Amino acid sequence: MNFWKMRHEDHILFLRYEDMKKDLAAVVRQVAAFLGRDVNEEQVSWLTHHCSFEEMSKNPAVNHETLRMAPTQEAKAIKFMRKGKVGDWRNHLTEEQQKAFKQWTLKYLQGSDFPYYQDYE
Model pTM? Answer: 0.66
Alpha carbon dihedral 21, 97, 114, 18, in 10-degree steps, equals 0
Q: Where are the domains of the chain?
A: 2-86, 87-121
| 18 and 86 Cβ atoms separated by less than 8 Å | yes
Higher confidence at residue 108 or residue 34? 34
pLDDT digits (tens, 9 = 90+) for 1-15: 577 778 888 899 988
What CATH number matches the domain at 2-86, 1.20.1440.230, 3.40.50.300, 3.40.50.880, 3.20.20.150? Answer: 3.40.50.300
For residues 49 and 54, give the distance between their C-alpha atoms in angstroms, rounded to a whole number. 9
